[in-house]
A and B are shown apart, each in its own frame.
Chain A
Amino acid sequence: MSDHTATVDHKADDHGHDAAHGSMFAHVKVYLIIGALLFIFTAITVGLSYIDFDKIAVFIWAFNKIGVHGAAINMVIGLTVATFKVCLVGAWFMHLKQEKAVIWRPLLFTFFFVTALFLLFLLAHSDPIPGSVHWHH
């Protein structure tokens, strides 16, 4: 057993390039797939922007439940796709998937606060203090 391990180590040291070659090739394949996915989702983002989600009953019903009306429905859907793309880039291109906790733990705070910032617009659409906003319908 120990012999076997020693052989592997020896190989990795002396022929690092060869040993790494296989996994590197696999990495490259993953990067290309993620790149292709990003291309596809860019096209999807463009396509989705031509759909008036605020005219489709099920979307109106679902989004009105959380206080999102009109053009904001398209905005939320568009930003959701963008967030998904961002997650792809973050997880694979930026290696957050296999990154140390020292790195991703502080980023949780960033993620939390930036999400809060993006959701601030809900204050312009909902009525957090009942009776303070007059709606035209």
Chain B
Amino acid sequence: MEIPYTVRPRPDTGLANPKLGIWLFLASEVMLFGGLFAGYIFMRLGADPGMWPKGWLNVPVGTFNTFVLIASSVTVILAWESLKMRNLRMYKVWLFITFMCGLLFLTIKLSYEWPAKFKHFGAYVQKEAAHKYEPLLGNEAHEQDGKLIDGHQARKGYPRLFIGGHLDTDHDKDAMTSASVPFVPEANLDAVIALGKDEKDPAKKAKLLHTREVTLKGIVVRDADIAELNKEHIDPAKKAEILHRMNTIELHAIDAENANPYNPENDKAHFWPVPQVPVEHGKGTLDKRDLNHGHGPLVPKLNTYLATYFMITGLHGAHVLAGCICFIYFWLPIKGGAKLFHTNPEQLCNRIEVSGLFWHLVDLIWIFVFPIFYLL
């Protein structure tokens, strides 16, 4: 079926169909993202001071990506203007740059920004257990509970303690996450040992079982312990001792943002990432059983911030991808693409205008995503 009025304006609306269509679509997109943003802002401002994760995103990278998208918004218009001037060569140049900008944006997002989250682990200490660790962290919040600070009454109840760090290798990740029942000591330990047990290659197996030292910033599993536990006969008392030790986390590093939720400095944006403040080594140990269920890499299930972050940037990324697909389609020398220039240039013009309008919306959404998630 031939879609009518793709070039000529409809007599009743005075517009070509695609234009009215895309604007109605964009209006619905605005409402979709508006709802998501509104939900995020509501939660962000409803959080107690210092309780909302800050500094988890890389501001310089976000700023760069913003510039990339704005630049692509300019180039897509230049592509359209070139078409209007019937300059096929410049049209192809500008559209290709636009496409590459979109691709660059997605590459940064998917090869750096998102994976950086997956290489971090985070864990919240259970509320009931927080009082055990508060004094070790130099955190005065437990003492301030319900008292007056700077004329404001501190909220009742302990804030959520957050432990964060790097997952340097896949093994670290497995050690942190693969336990089927995370807070039962034996199950957790078995999962660590299973890494070696399942290995077919004897040399690798030996390596995994005897020489591997799982070192997370926060969790240390000694290879000597693993070897000891793999022995045929093991003294039950010694086993219990090792199991206990392996289920305590040495507090090497505590996420600086949450070290003291009442410090206003912790609730500020920082252009360059804040260096982690190390807690004195061996100052205290953390029982894994005191962690909230669901600890692990920074993925949506960890907290509301990450859930909304991945939701909104993911949906926005899908839009960028859609735009890229459109642009490369209109760029390629195919019937619906650049070849259309020779048969019906005005229709190709309209196609670029409509996809350009969509692209500007993608840019608009990012203009809101950037300050809301990265800066505020």
Contacts and interface: CB of A to CB of B under 8 A. Distances in A.
Contacts, number: 146
B275 interface: no
B247 to A, nearest CB: 38
Contact of A124 (B46, B84, B85, B372): B46
Contact of B15 (A16, A21, A102): A102
A10 interface: no
B274 interface: no
Interface in A71-90: 71-72, 74-75, 78-79, 81-82, 85-86, 89-90
A124 to B, nearest CB: 5
Interface string B241-265: 0000000000000000000000010
B376 interface: yes
Q: How big is chain B's contact interface, by range? A: 35 or more
B73 to A, nearest CB: 6
A93 B73 contact: yes
7 contacts: A20-B84, A46-B59, A71-B267, A78-B375, A117-B38, A120-B41, A124-B42
Interface of B: 13-15, 19-20, 23-24, 27, 30-31, 34-35, 37-38, 41-42, 44-46, 49, 59, 63, 66-67, 70-71, 73-74, 77-78, 81, 84-86, 151-153, 155, 264, 267-269, 271, 356-357, 360-361, 363-364, 367-368, 370-372, 375-376
Interface of A: 16-17, 20-21, 24, 27-28, 31-32, 34-35, 38-39, 42-43, 45-46, 49-50, 52, 70-72, 74-75, 78-79, 81-82, 85-86, 89-90, 93-94, 100, 102-103, 106-107, 109-110, 113-114, 117-118, 120-121, 124-125, 136-137
